[in-house]
A and B are shown apart, each in its own frame.
Chain A
């Protein structure tokens, strides 16, 4: 009776089996890599805006405090976007003719709101409250990154659930003196030994219990 398979058939069979297993594993890893990638989470991506607003210039160079424009940040859930009026308090004097600012002037003239595209968008089903975070001394930079170094604003961290929970599990190291929340550069902070204790002290002082922070209802209702 004629041979159906060549002697190598067995080897091939084993090889293909192994290859399949390998490819599947690889695929899994690739997928995992993707969902965590900046590409998927939108980190570092610049969203185009009606006006090419530069935080670098306003915050970094001019040193304007965040709360100048984002007025709600200490008192309510949303930091809030500045009304056109706020922009014009300065820009009625400065760069009055600048083409880039045309939309702002139009907005005021026609009483039409500027339509910004959110950069740091709170994910669905999440109820985030700025005021309490600011009050406890979570610095802006913790979530929004070095905004003072961004000519065009971009998302600094992946707003995945994990990003929030990592901090809620152990807020200590992220905490800073509440009177300095808007400070951007904290590179020197950890080098000072007694600062290491600050987090623990702050947690005690505010009575922050991670065991409570980590519960679903903290963010989801």
Chain B
């Protein structure tokens, strides 16, 4: 921890020349081949689990899950919300901080965006899987059908459908535009013709001409400008999926901000975890510095506290309304069958992040990783709690009933981790995981600024 005590940790390395080599060598001669293959094998196995679980689901019907009346939605939907939440940090970090001119983002944005993409994919598939008749999912899309009927535009689900789709597309665009120049530099350093052609194709003939750079700047910032509001809209939409219903515990105006902040919160947590792992695995300490960890820690702390505010509001609203049903929901959250999910969320999301008040824990990779993990799990519990505790004891006493996730629900969830890690591992294996040119750019800028 000696370096931890240095008063001003540098954000960036001194010299910009080695940066590109340092980053682009990874796709070309991978340093961690063996470990990578091990991870990849595990990920693929999980992916297989996912496919099997989905297959069984399609073959037999949603009945293979543990859902019932009243608990129509189980961990399928809570996972959807959770995954989508993770998918927020990426865009938030890259797009928003880009527009705010926060240079330090450059070391994080690339893999954060990749993480976003894959998380959104994992999320986006859940609503389709949970349908009773998944083969008709496209009826949610507006298109001129022979039936002459359209989606029902008052429904939050319809808007969900649009929001998630838009978010996915924009994220892909943003990420790809961002990576083009680096693909070019990989192409230029590639030895094997195969690699050259492959990277070359995706580099879209990037030659680094000033004209290219000018247009690239425009395109990149424009997409960023589009992406930022989406961050807010997507999870607000998702929150309406619950808040639009008349059920106590859902029907609350705090939900949109509560969900968005919770999403960012979990997102930052996961970014922090990934950052820690990557910088350790690929010795990128001089690119992803303690300063970065420090900042990430601060973000987690901030968003975490805002999320906790949501918890407080929920309790307050219930007590303030004095509605028997609201109080009933509150009590079943605090003391009911699924209280573990509530208290688990409180401990992991609120208690754990208190450590981040201390810089020591922020810049220490291990503690940061641990806290990130705690938050990721905590947020999962929170989503689960929101879903279940409201449904299993809704209005009429006669329809109260418990819910237990079945084997196939769990296997699908575990599998979805494979759906996430498989492409992510491919990404860190074959693509420049950090935006080298942006780092160089900012190094140069800072140096020029220093020379004045």
Is A in direct contact with B (CB under 8 Å) within the complex? yes
A165 on the B face (CB < 8 A): yes
Interface residue tally of chain B, by bracket? 10 to 19
- Pair A36/B148 contact, Cβ less than 8 Å: no
User: Which of A5-13, A76-84, A172-180, A202-210 lies at the binding interface?
Assistant: A5-13
Q: Which residue of B lies closest to A35 (CB)?
A: B146
The answer to whether A161 and B146 touch across the interface, beta carbons within 8 angstroms, is: yes
B452 within 8 A of A: no
Q: Which of A1, A13, A161, A165 contacts B201 (CB 8 A)?
A: A13
- Chain A positions within 8 Å of B197 at CB level: 4-5
Interface residue A162 (Cβ < 8 Å from any Cβ of B) = yes
Is A160 an interface residue when CB atoms closer than 8 A count as contact?
yes
Beta-carbon contact of B188 and A160 below 8 Å: no
Question: Does B365 belong to the interface (CB within 8 Å)?
Answer: no
- CB-based contact B193/A4 at 8 Å: yes
**Contact indicator per residue, chain B 195-233, by CB within 8 Å of chain A (1) or not (0):** 011001100110000000000000000000000000000
B132 CB to closest chain A CB (Å) equals 16
Known A1-B188, A4-B187; judge A162-B205 contact (CB<8 A). Answer: no
CB neighbours of A1 from chain B (8 A)? 188
Q: Which residues of B contact A35 (CB under 8 A)?
A: 146
Most chain-A Cβ atoms within 10 A of its Cβ — which of B188, B193, B196, B205?
B205
Q: Using Cβ atoms and an 8 Å threshold, which residues of chain B touch A160?
A: 146-147
- Nearest opposing residue in chain A for B207, CB measure: A10
Question: Quick one: given A4-B193, A4-B196, A5-B200, are A161 and B148 in contact (CB under 8 Å)?
Answer: yes
Q: In the complex, which residues of chain A have a beta carbon less than 8 angstroms from the beta carbon of B148?
A: 161-162, 165
Interface size for A (C-beta < 8 A) is 13
A160 to B196, CA, bound (A): 53
- Complexed CA–CA distance, A160 and B149 (Å): 12
Choice from A5, A161, A165 contacting B205 with Cβ under 8 Å: A5
With A4-B197, A13-B204 in contact, is A36–B187 under 8 Å at CB?
no
Report the bound CA distance from A162 to B149 in whole Å.
9
- Measured CB to CB, the closest approach of chain A to B196, in angstroms, equals 5
Q: Is the CB of A161 within 8 A of B147?
A: yes
Which residues on the B side are within 8 Å of A5 (C-beta)? 197, 200, 205
Closest residue of chain A to B144 (Cβ to Cβ) is: A32
- Closest A-chain residue to B146, C-beta based? A160
Give residues 23-65 of A contacting B (CB, 8 Å).
32, 35-36
Closest to B197 in A: A4
How far is B287's CA from A151's CA once the two chains are assembled, in angstroms? Answer: 83
Inter-chain contact A10/B205, CB cutoff 8 Å: yes
Distance in angstroms between the alpha carbons of A32 and B144 in the assembled complex: 9
Q: In whole angstroms, how far apart are the Cα atoms of A1 and B190 in the complex?
A: 11
Docked pose: A74 CA to B3 CA in angstroms: 94
Report B-chain residues with C-beta under 8 Å of the C-beta of A36. 146
Give Cα distance in the complex from A160 to B148, angstroms.
Answer: 9
Q: How far is the CB of B314 from chain A (nearest CB, A)?
A: 38
**When chains A and B are docked, how far (Å) is the Cα of A36 from the Cα of B145?**
10
CB atoms of A4 and B147 under 8 A apart: no
Q: Name the distance in Å between A157's Cβ and chain B's nearest Cβ.
A: 13
Which residues does chain B contribute within 8 Å of A10, judged by CB atoms?
205
Q: Which residues of B contact A161 (CB under 8 A)?
A: 146-149
- A-contact 0/1 string along B402-424, CB 8 Å cutoff: 00000000000000000000000
Question: Which listed residue (B146, B188, B196, B205) contacts A9, Cβ 8 A?
Answer: B205
* Cα separation A4 to B199 with both chains bound (whole Å): 11
Q: A1 to B191, alpha carbons, bound, how many Å?
A: 11
Interfacial residues of chain B within 104-142, with CB under 8 A of chain A in the complex? none
Cβ contact within 8 Å between B187 and A162: no
Q: State A4–B144 Cα separation when bound (angstroms).
A: 46
Q: Which residues of B contact A9 (CB under 8 A)?
A: 205
The residue among A4, A9, A32 with the most chain B CB atoms within 10 A of its own CB is A4
Cβ contacts B382-397/A at 8 Å (1 or 0 each): 0000000000000000
User: Quick check: B188 and A162 within 8 Å, CB to CB?
Assistant: no
Known: A35-B146, A162-B146. 10 other contacts (CB 8 A): A4-B193, A4-B200, A5-B205, A9-B205, A32-B144, A36-B146, A160-B146, A160-B147, A161-B146, A162-B148
Q: List 8 A-B contacts (CB under 8 A).
A: A5-B197, A13-B201, A32-B144, A160-B147, A161-B146, A161-B148, A162-B146, A165-B148
Interface residue ranges, A against B (CB under 8 Å): 1, 4-5, 9-10, 13, 32, 35-36, 160-162, 165
The 10 closest A-B pairs by CB, nearest first: A161-B147, A162-B148, A160-B146, A4-B196, A10-B205, A4-B200, A165-B148, A35-B146, A162-B146, A5-B200
